[in-house]
Amino acid sequence: MLAARRGQKRKRCHFCVSGVDEIDYKAVDLLARFLSDRGKIQPRRKTGTCAKHQRRLAVAIKRARHLALLPYTAEHIRSA
């Protein structure tokens, strides 16, 4: 609501716009876009995803982490 007052457009869900129903855990490049620089999952208010796709995105990221396709933490944190 505050974003509308400031003149900013509300972000649209990337998956709804492109018509994606299933989020594949093997699409590492896509999943990495929704991670912070520290490796944490970005919140909905930052990425603009809808609730349904945010849940599916979180499950896909967690599966990819479990299979070592994505890191749990960022590289600079692990080396310290």
Rounded to whole angstroms, the Cα distance separating 50 from 76 reads: 31
Q: What is the average per-residue pLDDT within 4-30?
A: 87
Domains in the chain: how many in total? 1
- Checking if the pLDDT of 3 tops 60, the result is no
Q: Is residue 4 part of a domain?
A: no
Note the pLDDT tens digit of each residue in 37-64.
Answer: 999 999 999 999 999 999 999 999 999 9
Environment class of 60 (CB within 10 Å of its CB; exposed 0-12, middle 13-18, buried 19+): buried
Rounded to whole angstroms, the Cα distance separating 70 from 24 reads: 13
The pLDDT-based confidence of 8 (bands split at 50, 70, 90) is confident
Containing structural domain, residue 44? 14-79
Q: Is residue 32 part of a domain?
A: yes
Q: Is residue 43 part of a domain?
A: yes
Rounded to whole angstroms, the Cα distance separating 76 from 80 reads: 7
- Closest by Cα among 36, 20, 48, 19 to 61: 36
pLDDT given at position 62: 97
Q: Is residue 5 part of a domain?
A: no
pLDDT given at position 5: 63
Rounded to whole angstroms, the Cα distance separating 71 from 39 reads: 7
